[in-house]
Amino acid sequence: HFRAVYEHAYPADELMPLTCRGRVRGQEPSRGDVDDALGKFSLTLIDSLDTLVVLNKTKEFEDAVRKVLRDVNLDNDVVVSVFETNIRVLGGLLGGHSLAIMLKEKGEYMQWYNDELLQMAKQLGYKLLPAFNTTSGLPYPRINLKFGIRKPEARTGTETDTCTACAGTLILEFAALSRFTGATIFEEYARKALDFLWEKRQRSSNLVGVTINIHTGDWVRKDSGVGAGIDSYYEYLLKAYVLLGDDSFLERFNTHYDAIMRYISQPPLLLDVHIHKPMLNARTWMDALLAFFPGLQVLKGDIRPAIETHEMLYQVIKKHNFLPEAFTTDFRVHWAQHPLRPEFAESTYFLYKATGDPYYLEVGKTLIENLNKYARVPCGFAAMKDVRTGSHEDRMDSFFLAEMFKYLYLLFADKEDIIFDIEDYIFTTEAHLLPLWLSTTNQSISKKNTTSEYTELDDSNFDWTCPNTQILFPNDPLYAQSIREPLKNVVDKSCPRGIIRVEESFRSGAKPPLRARDFMATNPEHLEILKKMGVSLIHLKDGRVQLVQHAIQAASSIDAEDGLRFMQEMIELSSQQQKEQQLPPRAVQIVSHPFFGRVVLTAGPAQFGLDLSKHKETRGFVASSKPYNGCSELTNPEAVMGKIALIQRGQCMFAEKARNIQNAGAIGGIVIDDNEGSSSDTAPLFQMAGDGKDTDDIKIPMLFLFSKEGSIILDAIREYEEVEVLLSDKAKDRGLTGILLYFTSWDSGEMRESEPSDIDYYYHPAYGRPHLLIYWRSLEGELSFSHYL
């Protein structure tokens, strides 16, 4: 897959694994903030440099470093995320430098290396420094690599807010850059940003919010958790102590950790709360980024809650094959995407390191099997557009090679498989390796922040904190199992729809507040409770009811808080009901050679025709209809007879198109958007409506593809002519359900038969790259062959 990046994507920032080409900023439809990671600086190559050394690909690493030095330009007129550029590019250069000097000292590889990556890192560091030109010391979220901040040509510098993690995830890379080069300014700027965040914490709860104003220091989003927007701020406080040896970072982390375990941790869940009212949950769902937290708890030495949360996440993965971007407290999918995030694999690795429990090897095996079974496509691994259908997104983020490969390899590697001692390094949040000896190098920064006050914490688990000279838990292989056992069915059981804290539900002598799901607008008792909570009920002309809360009208501050929670529950409930009224996405799976089911496209459903969720999937070869818009009787009925017809959107109703291809004998239809460049990556799910008439006469399934997904099928037709697809509510198993007979493969231009035990890649002179022919007989007895390049 490193080779796939070089062959299909280099020098682009990322590989697009479905279309087998590179993603270049400005040449593909904008994906919004996601594209801020792309700076036309060969992102994936830099981000995965140290992964090559971990995998013992030292020759490939040396070649990759030469490519970076020869080809990468850091002076591009492009606006990038300061956070992403720091952790992926600056971190990648520093991780590459760390292992380059290690290899040079060993005496076999990199003998020519003279700190060139470090010089590039220093150049990039100076390019990022203008972002810190704020009164608070918190950096702007974005910067132009060529023009910096606030110049007219920079096209950035007007932002007022940044996320806590964006400003608080700089200290490892910036301090390492200072320690490596002796230029103290980087560490100074990163420390100032951390100091400001610490001073702005909510003093009564010791929590921080998700986003903060970089000029005033006011919290913009006042919810707090350990997931997106905050996650790596906590991680870097603890790891800054480990790498730099500064006690103030540990004291800050311990203070925050105490608050997290007091308010956010509701084992096995980790739920966001309000920083000013930490007993009040801010939402009823969790995001996938919190999967890193069990790994951080291992580093801290608090094993029990790490095991509990990790096990809960694993149960969610076993239910959906991957961890959805967000899921509810009763483990339903909230956001269905999965961009192949590595955080769960990271926590699995650290739990295995701490416990030695082979259970975590089984977890890792499941992750690898699911990646190969559901995400692997001809040119790499594709992100999941929807874990419910198994549909793909034409996306393979750089962190997949930088982190996922690294952690999964390390999980199964023996000590002798790694050519250096991994214990001499600390992992950044992007899994880049920084040497621990930096703690004693170029220490010219004032360590202690004497203006800060730390809360005295009565928490015995701080006795276990780093450096940890004790055994993390009793030397009993059943210890971790005893913690996991009560949670093994937590996802499959019928869980409560919302988690209510005891303090909220049963305040001494008080009546439990009204829950949104129980509310009835015709119940006088409910209306009285609403009035007490400051909630007004307005009857609209169309028969709907509108709820408005005025906290000042509540009977007490406690009742006002109950009213706020009721309104939030009602918003969540309304949102969920709207989602349930929508039809879920469908899948178009290309099953013919050479795809064999590995390419799955997100498809919009139709509100008419065969319901694929209730009937068997439809499988057939595709054919374009004539006319292509399908708005009149087809002139090529013989071409679509018994096939799935391709039709272009526009010029008539969807139902009319369906009737015309059905009359021509088609067994299904795929409508392709006529808006060139549209994509399920950037547009919401599209549902095809009927024509206002009775559509019971339409018996075939109809699905909708945006232009980008449709072009994948059209391109396949041009290249392979015969393209077979599967229309279904969820992608089917991609495995070859056949009995392997024998292999023939090319070796220096000669055919060679080999036993199944002698499987390998061979050079094919006609293609100039490895080629393998696999002959196999299906269970139905049909003889076929597959070839792989």
CA dist 262 and 199 (Å) reads 20
Coil/strand/helix, residue 65: helix
Is the separation of the CB atoms in 43 and 35 below 8 Å?
no
CA dist 268 and 185 (Å) reads 42
For residue 343, indicate whether it is catalytic.
yes
CA dist 329 and 286 (Å) reads 7
For residue 696, indicate whether it is catalytic.
no
Give the DSSP letter of residue 375: I
HSE-CB of 167 using CA atoms within 13 angstroms: 31
For residue 231, indicate whether it is catalytic.
yes
Residue 293's φ and ψ, nearest 5 degrees, are -65, -40
Among the options 325, 346, 559, 724, which is catalytic? 325
Q: For strands 223-224 and 273-274, give the pairing.
A: antiparallel
Residues facing 266 on adjacent strands = 269
Residue 142's φ and ψ, nearest 5 degrees, are -135, 155
> What is the number of other CB atoms lying within 10 angstroms of the CB of residue 691?
14
Is the separation of the CB atoms in 583 and 689 below 8 Å?
no
Tokens of residue 618, six digits: 């439809």
CA dist 538 and 522 (Å) reads 13
Cβ neighbours for 17, distance < 8 A, ≥ 6 positions apart? 4, 377, 378, 379, 380, 381, 382, 394, 395, 396
Among the options 343, 386, 397, 572, which is catalytic? 343
Is the separation of the CB atoms in 404 and 345 below 8 Å?
yes
Q: Identity (one letter) of the amino acid at 783? A: L
Burial class (CB in 10 A: 0-12, 13-18, 19+), 499: middle
Does 134 belong to an annotated binding site? no
| DSSP, residue by residue, 206-260 | TB--SEEETTT--EEE-EE-SSTTTHHHHHHHHHHHHHH--HHHHHHHHHHHHHI
Cβ neighbours for 553, distance < 8 A, ≥ 6 positions apart? 534, 536
Among the options 28, 187, 231, 308, which is catalytic? 231
CA dist 598 and 587 (Å) reads 12
CA dist 680 and 708 (Å) reads 8
Among the options 13, 28, 36, 84, which is catalytic? 84
CA dist 105 and 94 (Å) reads 17
Residue 455's φ and ψ, nearest 5 degrees, are -75, 135
Alpha-helical regions (H) of 39-139:
43-47, 49-54, 58-71, 82-84, 91-106, 116-128
Q: Which residue has the tokens 């059981």?
A: 493
Cβ neighbours for 139, distance < 8 A, ≥ 6 positions apart? 82, 128, 131, 132, 162, 166, 167, 170, 189, 193, 214
CA dist 120 and 585 (Å) reads 45
Catalytic residues: 84, 231, 325, 343
Binding residues: 429
Binding residues for Ca(2+): 429
